[in-house]
Structure 1
Amino acid sequence: MERNAKLAGETVGPVETDAETPRRRSAGGRVKSGQIREMLEQEIVTGERLAGERLDEQAVALRFGVSRTPVREAINQLASAGLVELIPNRGAFVRETGLAELVEMFEVMAEMEGMAGRLAARRIAAPARARLQAAHLACENAAAREAPDDYYYENERFHQAIYDACGNGFLAAEARRLHQRLKAFRRLQLRVPHRMHQSLVEHRRIVAAIEVGDGATAEAELKSHIMVQGERFADLVASLTPKVS
């Protein structure tokens, strides 16, 4: 079952409690649809909201103190990510994501990121190099602060910088699309003990390979960075129970 002994993703951090909801607000203190989406997606992937459960727009709006418009936007984003199913005349329902489906998506993600890294090593231009270095430094700083939520968002920028540097717009767009679909599951990755600091070590190897133009190593390092095996895989699956079966 080698296929089922792997899972991918860079993920981060503890799920926020209602007392912390939402963690990030706009400058004016208003809750945005993206923030609502983050909270709902974490509740879905951690099993707080079970497959088949209906998402009541009015109840969610009351919880966040907003109108139904940003809630509807958040639910539509979750539907695009495959976490929610929209049923005409019935509403939005949590969709079950099976382990086999996750493995398949993460295998494709690893291949895409590996290819982006290989091309970036050959094609990276000075502005893209500066963005990659800045994103890497931000990850270093977040890890030094032991701030997994901050690390997660900086990690997103790190991977986006690699997509930007690859010089293939189609690949970059598809990688972003799949990254967005898998972000909730990737975020859980840092629940695995010591994962944030191990991720940072892997980032250093990826940057070093891209810096010297070693496409083969950059590709291999990124694939390994995305894939999770052995005990880390078992720990991640346990964190998803009972959501993933």
Structure 2
Amino acid sequence: MAGTKRSNAQRLKDSLEDDIINGRRVPGERLDPEVLGNEFEVSRTPVREAIQQLVASGLVTVSPKKGTFVAKVSIEQLIEMFEVMAELEGMCGRLATRRITPGELSDLHQALERCEAASAGGDPDEYYYENEVFHHTIYAASHNAFLAAEARQLKLRLKPYRRLQLQVRHRMSNSLSEHREIIAAIEAGDAVRAEQALRDHVLIQGERFSDLIASVKDFGIKDADEPV
């Protein structure tokens, strides 16, 4: 999904998302739709759509009769969501290995090629969106609609932080290598290997855990024992 193809709502959402993650809009700050429309030179509809998407990702809350505010998220809650996401992704990979069709496998290879192109271009945001297609292809190949829907919903909530990870040096190239390992496991018909590869790909641990914590602590996200 190239940047030129993104709608006004998508571009606005990405910009607000970056502002929130990078601390330019702090937890508790009110977001005025009229001000946002003027600031980004867009109509009310893209602003409304962008806010709805930010609410779905947990970055923004809407309080009746009070307005729209930047949400407060704890590091503990964030890590718990990543743990669940890793298990959902692993399950999708296991089922996809057993159920993937030749057409879906071809789609997965094409998604990988687009990820490679985005990585070569050094564009983390474009890589993220192509990466999204890669993962959604695996969800579909699981042929379990309920599981796929749950994975997509949680992935949406974690999107800002997964995008943030791609800003870390070498993370994009490492992610690409992990994609290749995932496809190799699926093609080999090794469901256990595919499950583990996808789980490790998503799970925040070791140095990646430290990098994420170092980043989000600077961006207004609270420790579990801090007042919110």
Which TM-score applies when normalising by structure 2?
A: 0.91
2:166 is paired with a residue of what secondary structure? helix
Q: Secondary structure, in 3 states, of the residue corresponding to 2:62?
A: strand
Provide the rounded CA distance (Å) in 2 between the counterparts of 1:147 and 1:34: 17
- Alignment pair present for 1:244 and 2:193: no
**Partner residue, 1:85:** 61
Residue 42 (1) aligns with residue 18 (2): yes
RMSD: 1.6
**Mean alpha-carbon deviation: is it higher for 31-40 or for 92-101?**
31-40
Deviations 1:30-65 (A, max 9, x none): x62122111111211222111100001111101111
Matching residue of 2:108: 132
Residue 160 (structure 1) aligned with residue 118 (structure 2): no
Alignment of 1:148-187 (within 5 A): 148-187=124-163
Taking a change above 3 Å as real, the CA distance of residues 26 and 163 of structure 1, as seen in their structure-2 partners, is closer
Which deviations, in whole Å up to 9, do the C-alpha atoms of 1:52-107 show, x marking residues without a partner?
Answer: 00001111101111122221221122112211111111110111111001011111
Q: Distance in 2 between matches of 1:26 and 1:135?
A: 17
- The CA distance in 1 between the partners of 2:96 and 2:3, in whole Å, is 32
Residue type of the alignment partner of 2:127: Y
Counterpart residue number, 1:59 = 35
| Bigger Cα displacement from structure 2, 91-100 vs 71-80 | 71-80
**How many angstroms apart in 1 are the aligned matches of 2:67 and 2:151?**
30
Q: Distance in 2 between matches of 1:179 and 1:191?
A: 18
Contact 1:191-1:236 within 8 A present in 2 as well:
no
* Identity fraction in percent: 52
Q: Which structure 2 segments of 5+ residues have no match?
A: 223-228
Q: Which residue of 1 aligns with 2:225?
A: none
Greater shift, 31-40 or 150-159, is seen at 31-40
Distance 1:96 1:158 in 2: 30
Matched residue type, 1:67: S
Query: Matched residues in 1 for 2:3 and 2:182: separation?
Result: 30
The one-letter amino acid of 2:19's match is E
1:207 maps to 2:183: yes
Contact 1:25–1:32 (Cα < 8 Å) also in 2: no
Unaligned runs of 5+ in 1: 1-22
**1:116-142 residue CA offsets vs partner (Å, 9 max, x unmatched):** 000000000111111101001111222
Of structures 1 and 2, the one scoring higher in RCO (CA 8 A, sep 6+) is 1
Query: 4+ runs of 1 displaced by more than 4 Å?
Result: none
Give the equivalent residue in structure 2 for 1:9.
Answer: none
TM-score (norm 1): 0.85
Aligned equivalent of 2:226: none
Q: Does 1:223 align with 2:199?
A: yes
Alignment size in residue pairs:
220
1:202-236 Cα distance to aligned partner (Å, 9 max, x none) = 11110000011100000000010001222322222
Q: Which residue is 1:3 aligned to?
A: none
Q: Paired residue for 1:116, among 78, 92, 96?
A: 92
SS in 2 for 1:228: coil
Distance 1:24 1:203 in 2: 22
SS at match of 1:93: strand
